[in-house]
Amino acid sequence: MSDATTLAAPPRPRAFRAATEESPAVRRGLILIAVAGLAILVFAPLIVVFAEALAKGAVAAVKSLQSKDALSAIRLTLLIAAISVPLNAVFGIAAAWFITKFDFRGKAFLITLIDLPFSVSPVVAGLCIVFMFGANSLAGGWLVAQGFPIVFALPGIVLATVFVTFPFVARELIPVMIEQGRAEEEAALTLGASGWRVFRTVTLPNIRWALLYGVLLCNARAMGEFGAVAVVSGKIRGQTATMPITIEMQYNEYLSVAAFSLAAVLTLLALVTLLLKTILEIRHADEIAATRRH
């Protein structure tokens, strides 16, 4: 290896910089701004949640979570997510199938309608449900008479939750299914597979990660929805008070540890969601829609 020195490439000029790079100083500056901005805007609130929850020690925090109100709120929130997330997944799959497997007029308009809940204020969403199903409305009055109230009860909260999370799953699936095209499904059909079988054995395996991704985002939003639920729930303690609503009530009663402990539970959920989301993005980037907007 004695000739290695003579064959060595000429030293790279120290000042060399690719034409598509900024100078190191500029890079460092931009990274610093990004880190500082996110530290102030995102990390600081995150830390505060746990700091306030633990302000009087871990025992107090855990104890407040075992109160009757907190437990019933947790149960209610889990129940609502367990109903509304599957509803949303079914809708998302059906809508994505309809939109990507068939050609019809007004497709763009339909997609706009599905996106509509993104740009409607959650409070207005709740208001709409109140006018549709409230005791003063036609449908609501009849349902109340049948002993099946919607507003100020579980069904109303579910409806409001489905409204605000409406586009989540469909939005994830549509771009993926457009990209994958129809050829594999057509091939399965020519091989004699029934429609249901085509979906189960060909489509579903190709969209499962995108579906999981959409369900994850949908679930996080469903458990945390506040504005729409505040309007339709009536905030009845122990009955229609979800976790976010209970946080508000406890906060307004100056039960800081209790409010922040419950908030910490929801924050942990958000962190787990982000963790799973990051894992999905690293491992299954190709199967998840590239352009995202929520």
Partner 1 sequence: MHIEIDEISKQFGSTAALTPVSLNLPSGALVALLGPSGSGKTTLLRILGGLEYPTSGRILFDGQDATGLTVQQRRAGFVFQSYALFRHMTVFENIAYGLRARPRATRPPKAEIARRVQKLLELIQLPQIGARYPNQLSGGQRQRVALARALAIEPRMLLLDEPFGALDAKVRKELRQGLRDIHDETGLTTVFVAHDQEEAMELADLVVVMSMGRIEQIGKPADIRARPASDFVRNFITA
Partner 2 sequence: MVRPLLNRSPMPGLGLSMGITVAMLSLVVLLPIGALLWQGASFGLSGMWGVINRERVWKALLLSFRLSFYAALFNLVFGVLLAWVLARYRFPGRRLLDAAVDLPFALPTAVAGIALTALYAPNGFFGAIFKDYGIRIAYTEWGIFIALVFVGLPFVARTVQPVVEELETEVEEASATLGASRLYTLYRVILPALLPAALTGFALSLARAVGEYGSVIFIAGNKPLATEIAPLLIVIQLEEFNYDGAASIGIAMLVISFAMLLVINLIQVWSRRRIGNV
d(CA 161, CA 284): 28
Residues 253-292 contacting partner 2, CB under 8 A? 259-260, 263, 266-267, 270-271, 273-275, 277-278, 290-292
Query: Which member of 182, 184, 206, 280 binds partner 2 (CB under 8 A)?
Result: 182
Residue that is written with structure tokens 């549709």 in the block: 132
189 touches partner 2 by CB under 8 A:
yes
Q: How far is the CB of 185 from partner 2 (least distance, A)?
A: 7
Per-residue x/- track, 267-286, partner 1 (CB under 8 A): --------------------
Q: Hey, CA dihedral for 153, 244, 70, 266, is it positive or negative? A: positive
Q: Please report, in angstroms and rounded to a whole number, the separation of the first and last CA atoms in the chain.
A: 59
Going by C-beta distance under 8 Å and a sequence separation of 6 or more, which residues neighbour residue 284? 209
CB atoms within 10 A of CB 240: 21
DSSP string, 164-202: HTTTHHHHHHHHHHHHH-SHHHHHHHHTT--HHHHIIII
- Residue 227 is classified by DSSP as H
Q: Which of these ranges, 64-72, 172-180, 205-213, 243-251, lies near partner 2 under the rule CB under 8 A?
A: 243-251
d(CA 125, CA 130): 9
Q: How far is the CB of 104 from partner 1 (least distance, A)?
A: 12
Q: How far is the CB of 257 from partner 2 (least distance, A)?
A: 12
Q: How far is the CB of 293 from partner 2 (least distance, A)?
A: 6
Nearer to partner 1, 193 or 269 (CB): 193
Q: In Å, how far are 62, 138, 171, 201, 279 from 287, measured between CA atoms? A: 40, 45, 14, 16, 13
Residues 222-241 contacting partner 1, CB under 8 A? none
Q: How far is the CB of 103 from partner 2 (least distance, A)?
A: 4
Residues 182-211 contacting partner 1, CB under 8 A? 183-184, 186-194, 197, 201-202, 205-206
Nearer to partner 1, 25 or 108 (CB): 108
Per-residue x/- track, 93-132, partner 2 (CB under 8 A): -xx-xxx-xxxxx----x-xxxxxxxxxxxxxx-xxxxxx
| Interaction site with partner 1 (CB under 8 A) | 183-184, 186-194, 197, 201-202, 205-206
